[in-house]
Amino acid sequence: MRHNKSGRRLGRNSSHRAAMMRNMVTSILEHEKITTTDARAKELRKVVDRMITLGKRGDLHARRQATRVLRDRNVVGKLFELIGPRYKDRPGGYTRIIKLGRRLGDKAPQVIIELVEEEFAPRTRKAMASEETAAPVEEQAPVEEVAEASEETEKGE
């Protein structure tokens, strides 16, 4: 029985699982979006949120804690200089999981896990369609007026 044993095992031993999570966290913070399976993404979300919280703290101890998990020093710098300040006012929920369907080979459910962008809200087809219908049509200047204006500038020279 697995009572009080939280977390998915993902078909790997503990060292392999830890290494895989470290690689995936480094990749998502570097590229801000990755494609993986649903179970891996749900486990990855916990670690990514923890890293971004460290990035928000921004002190030396937090940087050293993040360096223990992340594989690339450039990604640690990006976490503390760009990603952490981006989410300084957000209390949590830094990632979004979008379902893609099933993988062809083994029918595993595929997802995209990405960092939530504060500046750019996700646009759905419905929202884009309503923007197109609600956008006012700008009137273009008649061609005759433009031609008259260009003739006046030629005469003035």
**Does 132 map to a domain?**
no
Q: Per-residue pLDDT tens for 42-93?
A: 999 999 999 999 999 999 999 999 999 999 999 999 999 999 999 999 999 9
**Does 106 map to a domain?**
yes
Contacts 24+ apart (CB under 8 A), 72-77: 72/26, 72/30, 74/30, 75/26, 75/29, 75/30
Concatenate the DSSP letters of all residues of 22-87 into one string.
Answer: HHHHHHHHHHSEEEEEHHHHHHHHHHHHHHHHHHHH-SHHHHHHHHHH-S-HHHHHHIIIIIHHHT
**Does 76 map to a domain?**
yes
**Does 47 map to a domain?**
yes
Q: Per-residue pLDDT tens for 101-142?
A: 999 999 999 999 999 985 544 455 666 566 667 655 566 655
Rounded-to-10 torsion of CA 110, 115, 116, 120: -100
Domain span including residue 69: 14-120
The dihedral region occupied by 111, where left means phi > 0, alpha psi between -120 and 50, and beta the remainder, is beta
